[in-house]
């Protein structure tokens, strides 16, 4: 085959397919220590390990929420944490049929000679780290590549570097039993229109799948985590149906049918926006050979975070807010979302310029 | 891609989708003068224009055959020919609900420094030619790129040159209103196994779709004409179900869903083999977002040619033979072929010619 078929091939295919189960999606709870610090400070909570542990326990033990999730992406620290009762988080997830995943990249660095474009680091000892994570219970991984739209961006250099980086990360994961989520995020920052975003997204995705082919990645054992195709952050918004049309067209033009599922990033959209857009895509009457689901961070946790505010007495209410977003997005993957689970907090834009995790 | 701009966008998408209609496929009748000469000499018929015209009239007026076809690829000479009664072939086809297509490449030339690898010529003045062909009634085009499997082949050079050539051709066609059939044929010649063919096919197709993206080709207005994934000609044969599995998997890994249809070349398979393999693919229960059909030359005409033998009194027999193969392949696109087509003389005959040149 063109594709690498190692000892984990069948398991990778099975796990990727499970994560892509209609009605389920991914909670991205892999904020690095620095990034989660920003979240916590926004609700005036100190960024110490016990608070980070408390937040994640709140999420993972939310009654009934896990039934809407097929996977949770964790940061390394969280992979080894436990509930206050002493139960490893990984076990909590596994018992509820949620596959633990692990962020394996080490952030972005600027590419010299470009206008602020970046490449992603994390290759050193990646294979060995993946093996360790597999032993700890992880079965999928995530690596975020970032591209921007500008007058001369994304440059061919940036596209090539990020595409090859994603492909290299992906094959190393597959060698070590982890399903790689391939995430080539095209940032929303900018005054460009939706057509521009579509053109760039198609170019980037074409480069990514060419690189994956070159490096013998087994597509049936991967997932894609792309941006939705939208107008730039400085441009007027458009209807969910328009976003759905452009996004699905871009994916139909670039993502081979062998990929079992596409799990969108929310990239600064409000909780409600992200859900409505995902729902519109799944309502679209056009042939889609992969499932369309979510891998949301901010768009699943925003109102939960605000409701919690770091106070133990707020936990049940916060967990209800979380359940509400999980259920809404589950319905969106089936094109059955009726709207109306948007509390005031759910409509709040989560856009942060030049967003870094 | 999103950068694609052409006044023909809607028409291209409509025609490409029509060609992919389940139950229909393409008759490749675009043999160049030299190549059709070989066919005619195999049945002792002189290679003169009248005989070439007579053969094509036989094919296009075969009663009941056109309903199983969505397109016919023509050579330039044929595009301007008429029936004996004076009706342009193009009109015969259109009235039968069949889109006329046109071969626009000018054959292959060797790539310097390689071991017999080639690239395809025909880009010079292509836009002007396409415009002329559109005016004459053509609505799709075909361009054959050829790659081979060997110890060191296909090389990255051959893959890149052929992928790039296909993409440039495709972009020009779309600007002129012709749906480009993208044909990256990997020759069956060789002693390699089916896994090797699959690996090469996936690599080649991935390069093709990257090039098409680079050249801003609108995939919804294209068709793909690939080889099936099979063992090499010198290797033991395998069952149609195996060919189907490897072929469809290779396509799932490389061909975006925006492509409406995939129309296989027969590449030297016998008429019956080609039909059985196509049928097996359409029976396969797996993700197939594009329709899987045929664009057969030899595998549709072989027994017809033999039955005709150049004699007017054989007309009906010959046309019956064509109808038989058209119907069989139509059923194969629906996965309903039962293998019961009465085998005409030659239907089971291998049509493989080593290192085949059109």
- pLDDT digit string, tens, across residues B93-140: 999 999 999 999 999 999 999 999 999 999 999 999 999 999 999 999
Percent of chain B with pLDDT over 70: 96
Q: Which of B172, B249, B251 is nearest to B206 (CA)?
A: B251
Taking CB atoms and an 8 Å cutoff, what residues of chain B touch A252?
256-258, 289
Mean pLDDT for the stretch of residues A102-106: 97
Interface touch B257/A257, C-beta < 8 Å: yes
Please tell me the predicted confidence (pLDDT) of residue B349: 72
Which of A4-8, A74-78, B318-322 has the least mean pLDDT? Answer: A4-8
Interface touch B252/A1, C-beta < 8 Å: no
Percent of chain A with pLDDT over 90: 92
A194: pLDDT strictly greater than 70: yes
Q: Cα(B302)–Cα(B296) distance, rounded to whole angstroms?
A: 10
Mean pLDDT for the stretch of residues B28-48: 96
Whether residue B183 lies in the annotated active site: yes
Please tell me the predicted confidence (pLDDT) of residue B358: 45
Please tell me the predicted confidence (pLDDT) of residue A325: 98
User: Phi/psi at A269 (nearest 5 deg)?
Assistant: -70, 155
Please give the helix or strand (H or E) that residue B85 lies within, else none.
none
pLDDT band at A357 (very low <50, low <70, confident <90, very high): very low
**CA-to-CA separations, A191 to A1, A197, A198, A230, A233, in angstroms, rounded:** 44, 10, 14, 11, 6
The closest CB to that of B252, out of A209, A258, A288, belongs to A258
Q: Cα(B68)–Cα(A171) distance, rounded to whole angstroms?
A: 45
Chain A, nearest residue to B156 by Cα: A214
Please tell me the predicted confidence (pLDDT) of residue A348: 66
Residue where the block lists tokens 């106070």: A311
Percent of chain B with pLDDT over 90: 92
**CA-to-CA separations, A109 to A161, A163, A165, A267, in angstroms, rounded:** 12, 15, 13, 19
A310: pLDDT strictly greater than 80: yes
Alpha helices per DSSP H over B253-297: 271-283
Is B101 within 8 Å of B70 (Cβ atoms)? no
Taking CB atoms and an 8 Å cutoff, what residues of chain B touch A1?
195, 198-199, 202
Interface of A with B in 209-268 (CB under 8 A): 209-210, 213-214, 219, 249-250, 252-258
B332: pLDDT strictly greater than 50: yes
Using CA atoms in the order A200, A201, A204, A205, what is the torsion angle rounded to 10 degrees?
Answer: -150
Three-class secondary structure of residue A6 per DSSP: coil
> With an 8 Å Cβ cutoff, is A207 touching chain B?
yes
Please tell me the predicted confidence (pLDDT) of residue B268: 84
pLDDT band at A252 (very low <50, low <70, confident <90, very high): very high
Please give the helix or strand (H or E) that residue B190 lies within, else none.
none
Residues near B7 by beta carbon (within 8 Å), at least 6 away in sequence = none
Please tell me the predicted confidence (pLDDT) of residue B351: 77
B42: pLDDT strictly greater than 50: yes
Q: Cα(A275)–Cα(B165) distance, rounded to whole angstroms?
A: 43
B356: pLDDT strictly greater than 70: no
Residues near B111 by beta carbon (within 8 Å), at least 6 away in sequence = B117, B118, B119, B157, B158, B161
Mean pLDDT for the stretch of residues A203-228: 98
Chain B, nearest residue to A247 by Cα: B2
């Amino acid at each position: 085959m063109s594709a690498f078929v190692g000892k984990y091939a069948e398991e990778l295919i099975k796990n990727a397919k499970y994560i892509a189960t209609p009605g389920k999606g991914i909670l991205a709870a892999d904020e690095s220590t620095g990034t989660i610090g920003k979240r916590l400070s926004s609700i005036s909570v100190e960024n110490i390990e016990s608070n980070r542990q408390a937040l994640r326990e709140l999420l993972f033990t939310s009654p009934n929420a896990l039934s809407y999730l097929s996977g949770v992406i964790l940061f390394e620290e969280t992979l080894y944490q436990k509930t206050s009762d002493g139960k490893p988080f990984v076990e909590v997830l596994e018992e509820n049929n949620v596959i633990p995943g692990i962020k394996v990249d080490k952030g972005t660095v600027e590419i010299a000679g470009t206008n602020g474009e970046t490449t992603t680091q994390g290759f050193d000892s990646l294979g060995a780290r993946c093996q360790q994570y597999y032993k700890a219970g992880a079965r999928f991984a995530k690596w975020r590549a970032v591209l921007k739209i500008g007058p001369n961006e994304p440059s061919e250099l940036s596209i090539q570097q990020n595409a090859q980086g994603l492909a290299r990360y992906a094959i190393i994961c597959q060698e070590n039993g982890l399903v790689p989520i391939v995430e080539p995020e095209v940032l929303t920052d900018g005054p460009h229109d939706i057509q521009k975003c579509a053109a760039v997204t198609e170019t980037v995705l074409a480069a990514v799948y060419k690189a994956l082919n070159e490096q013998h990645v087994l597509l049936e054992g991967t997932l894609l985590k792309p941006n939705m195709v939208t107008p730039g952050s400085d441009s007027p918004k458009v209807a969910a149906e328009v976003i759905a049309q452009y996004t699905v067209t871009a994916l139909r033009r670039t993502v081979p049918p062998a990929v079992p599922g596409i799990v969108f990033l929310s990239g600064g959209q409000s909780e409600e926006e992200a859900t409505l857009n995902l729902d519109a895509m799944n309502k679209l009457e056009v042939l889609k050979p992969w499932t369309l689901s979510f891998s949301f961070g901010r768009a699943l946790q925003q109102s939960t975070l605000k409701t919690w505010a770091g106070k133990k007495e707020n936990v049940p209410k916060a967990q209800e807010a979380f359940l509400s977003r999980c259920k809404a997005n589950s319905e969106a993957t089936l094109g059955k979302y009726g709207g109306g689970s948007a509390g005031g907090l759910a409509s709040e834009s989560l856009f942060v310029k030049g967003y870094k995790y | 891609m999103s950068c694609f701009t052409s006044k023909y966008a809607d028409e291209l998408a409509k025609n490409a989708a029509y060609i992919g209609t389940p139950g229909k496929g393409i008759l490749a009748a675009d043999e160049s003068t030299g190549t059709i000469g070989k066919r005619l000499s195999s049945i002792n018929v002189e290679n003169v224009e009248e005989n070439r015209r007579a053969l094509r009239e036989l094919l296009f007026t075969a009663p009941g055959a056109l309903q199983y076809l969505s397109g016919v690829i023509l050579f330039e000479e044929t595009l301007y020919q008429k029936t004996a009664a004076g009706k342009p072939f193009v009109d015969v086809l259109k009235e039968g609900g069949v889109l006329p297509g046109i071969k626009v490449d000018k054959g292959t030339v060797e790539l310097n420094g390689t071991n017999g690898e080639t690239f395809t010529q025909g880009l010079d003045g292509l836009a002007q030619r396409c415009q002329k062909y559109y005016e004459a009634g053509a609505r799709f085009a075909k361009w054959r790129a050829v790659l081979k499997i060997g110890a060191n082949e296909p090389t990255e050079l051959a893959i890149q040159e052929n992928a790039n050539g296909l993409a440039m051709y495709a972009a020009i066609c779309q600007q002129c209103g012709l749906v480009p059939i993208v044909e990256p044929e990997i020759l069956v010649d060789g002693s390699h196994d089916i896994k090797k063919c699959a690996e090469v096919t996936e690599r080649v197709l991935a390069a093709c779709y990257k090039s098409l993206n680079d050249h801003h080709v609108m995939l919804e207005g294209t068709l793909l004409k690939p080889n099936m994934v099979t063992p090499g000609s010198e290797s033991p044969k395998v069952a149609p179900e195996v060919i189907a599995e490897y072929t469809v998997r290779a396509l799932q890994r490389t061909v975006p869903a925006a492509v409406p249809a995939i129309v296989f070349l027969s590449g030297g398979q016998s008429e019956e083999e080609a039909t059985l393999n196509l049928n097996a693919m359409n029976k396969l229960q797996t993700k197939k977002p594009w329709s899987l059909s045929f664009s057969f030359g030899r595998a549709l005409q072989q027994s017809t040619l033999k039955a005709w033998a150049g004699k007017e009194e054989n007309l009906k027999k010959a046309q019956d033979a064509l109808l038989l193969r058209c119907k069989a392949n139509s059923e194969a696109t629906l996965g309903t072929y039962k293998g019961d087509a009465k085998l005409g003389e030659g239907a089971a005959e291998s049509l493989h010619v080593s290192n085949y040149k059109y």
